[in-house]
Amino acid sequence: MTIRLAAAALDQAAALLRAGELVAFPTETVYGLGGDATSDESVAAIFAAKGRPRFNPLIVHLSRADQAERFAQIDSRAARLMQRFWPGPLSLVLRRAPRCPISLLASAGLDTLALRVPAHPLALELLRLADRPIAAPSANRSGRVSPTTADHVLSELDGHIAAVLDGGPCRIGVESTVIDLSGRTPLLLRPGGIATEELEALLGPLAAPSPEDAPRAPGMLASHYAPSLPLRLNATRVEPSEALLAFGGDAPVGAKETHWLSKDGDVDEAAAHLFAMLRALDRADFTAIAVMPIPERGLGRAINDRLRRAATR
């Protein structure tokens, strides 16, 4: 059963996040479903709790704007927006910094990262006490209406997460605006809590993303990082020149290198390892990456969706 925590229980909520648990918390926009963004397992648990059908990128929440440079590359445009709108309902998609510690699963394997600093006193104090970046999509089941009260969260996620921090109704009630600054032209990926006119006053005209672009924030069509090597799915045998992503049971022998998504057949564990292992095996040492069958249950559906898209690009 999910614990409802009062505002005075911030220390307990932060301790749960540090322990890898999921905690829903209020922001000025909607309630977020928080998990340690540096932990593959915590990020995978977010997808599982939401029943999220695909690995869309998540927004990572920080307690202070000056923390952003540890995780992302900050240019002059980003600096102006951060100074003007953070804390606030603005998420920025930026290039990941070298050696960025945030889970690749949080950014769907992409080389970009969505960051924001929320303008809610409880959220900011929780983030400060947790002392780590927190990935936090809206705290609802995938495809449902975003929650703006703790009761909304409990109506959908009770028993699926450790706790919800009750901070009353959210002030804005719609998600943050998302701006992509990872390229030369600023893109409006999602309208939200900040008017487009305010942003264009600082950036100039905002363009729309191309339908063919991989999504860099929630609310966009799913298409994700694909390795340069061919992927061979549902593999029951392996060639000596191939790398193998193994899952559950006995792996076929003969692969040049084998990485286990999950020896126990745990789809949540497999989801946590997927992007990091694909990158680790995407090397000229191999002719292809063979992937053992993944069951179509739980996060297995998301894993297979990701693999099918990467294999047919």
Q: What is the pLDDT of residues 284-296, one digit of tens each?
A: 999 999 999 999 8
Cis amide leading into 87 (omega within 30)? yes
The 10s digit of each residue's pLDDT in 63-96 is 999 999 999 999 999 999 999 999 999 999 999 9
DSSP 239: -
Domain ranges of the chain: 3-203, 231-311
Residue 221 has pLDDT above 60, yes or no: no
174-183, 221-230, 274-283: which has the highest mean pLDDT? Answer: 174-183
Q: Which of 40, 31, 36, 32 is nearest to 16 (CA)?
A: 36
Q: Which two tokens stand for residue 69?
A: 């440079």
225 has pLDDT over 50: no
Which CATH number, 3.40.50.720, 3.90.870.10, 3.40.50.2300, 3.40.30.10, labels domain 3-203? 3.90.870.10
Residue among 153, 144, 114, 160 at smallest CA distance from 27:
153
Predicted confidence at residue 14, as pLDDT, reads 98
Half-sphere exposure of 105 toward its Cβ, with a 13 Å CA cutoff? 31
Q: Model pTM? A: 0.83
pLDDT for residue 223: 38
Distance separating alpha carbons of residues 108 and 168, to the nearest angstrom: 31
32-49 per-position pLDDT tens digit: 999 999 999 999 999 999
